[in-house]
Structures are given as C-alpha cells and as structure tokens.
Amino acid sequence: MRLSRGGAKKRPYYKIVVADERAPRDGKYLEQIGTYNPLLGKDDPDRVKLNEDRARYWVGVGAQPSDRVARFLDAAGIQERAARNNPQKAEPGEKAKERAEERASKAAEAEEAAKAAAEAPAEEAPTEEAAADEAPSEDAAAEDAPAEGEGAAAEAAETADGAEEAAGEEKAEG
C-alpha cells in the first residue's frame, strides 16, 4: 500500500494504491483504495479519502503500508501505527558541540574575571577616590575636544567645496 503521484508540476495529487513492491511508483497497481490531496487544508474532509473496507481487507491479507499510508490508516482507526522515536535526531552535530563547549569555557572565564573584579574594588577603594579627583580635568579636556572637532569639520567642508569647483573648471576646459 503506497501513494502513486499524479497531478501537474508543483500541484501534487496522490492515489492511495495497493501495488506489488516491484512495480514502479506511478506504474501498475492492483487496486486504488483512496486519494490524498496535500494542497487542501489539514482539516478538510476531502484531503484524504479512503475506502476503509478495502483497506481493512488488504491489511488483513498482509499488505505492508508505506509510512505516509500508515499514518492515514492510523487516523482512520484501521491499523495501529507504532510511534517512532529517534533520540539522536535532535542531538547537535560535532561542530555545534565544539562551539557550545567554547561558549561555556568563555562564560566561565568571564564569570571568574567578574568575581575577581568584584573582589578587587573592595580592597582598592582609596584608589577610586584618587581617580575621582583626576576625572574633572579629563572632563574639561573632553569639552574642549568637540570644539576642535567642529573646526576640523568646517575646514573639511571648505576644502571639499574647493575641490568640486576645481573639477567643474576642468570639465569646462576639456
């Protein structure tokens, strides 16, 4: 019992058929017992149509359903399908494991550094006060720096205008 594909390109439509295992997928079959249209919604009753009497007969005779047909038979209550479990499927690959180990080691190093930094300031509290005394002089220097930067930006704009004028004169001459 398997699916036999029909329909146009990119528009699949399947017949649920009973066929000899040696026959081609879309080739000769013994009997058609239903249809499957994957383009319809999952809640649509016309998505899977199955002649349950004939399906029961073929299962009783010993026909082996494919995975997809076994799902349909299980949903119809004709044949119980055992749940499949592959615990290795969700397991990450070797490279992913290596990256996870690297991240874990970097996180551990960062935590150790944070603990060391948290312990060190408690011992070095007087040096922070000294650094606070020096900070205002740095702030004054920082306030002067943007003023100088603005002057540099104005000079750069003037030179750019001069370059455009020079290029325009060359084109006029050429």
The CATH homologous superfamily for domain 2-76 is Ribosomal protein S16 (3.30.1320.10)
126 pLDDT higher than 60? no
Q: Give the Cα separation of 106 and 98 in Å (integer).
A: 12
Q: Using CA atoms, how far apart are residues 27 and 20, in angstroms rounded to an integer?
A: 10
The residue whose two tokens read 């002067």 is: 144
Residue extents of the structural domains in the chain: 2-76, 90-142
Q: Which residue has the higher pLDDT, 125 or 85?
A: 85
In whole numbers, what is the pLDDT of the chain averaged over residues?
79
pLDDT of residue 38: 94
CA-based radius of gyration for the chain: 38
- Estimate to the nearest angstrom the gap between the alpha carbon of 59 and the chain centroid: 40
Indicate whether 150 pLDDT > 80: no
Cα 167 from Cα 160, distance rounded (Å): 11
Element housing 46 (H / E): none
SS3 32: strand
Interior CA angle at 169 toward 163 and 170, to 5°? 90
Residue 129's pLDDT band (boundaries 50, 70, 90)? low
Q: In what order do the strands lie in the sheet with 11-18?
A: 2-8, 11-18, 31-36, 48-50
Residue 36, pLDDT score: 95
Nearest to 31 by CA among 6, 63, 7, 60: 63
How far is residue 18's CA from residue 3's CA, in Å, rounded to a whole number?
9
Mean pLDDT of 45-59: 94
Q: Highest mean pLDDT: which of 31-45, 116-130, 144-158?
A: 31-45
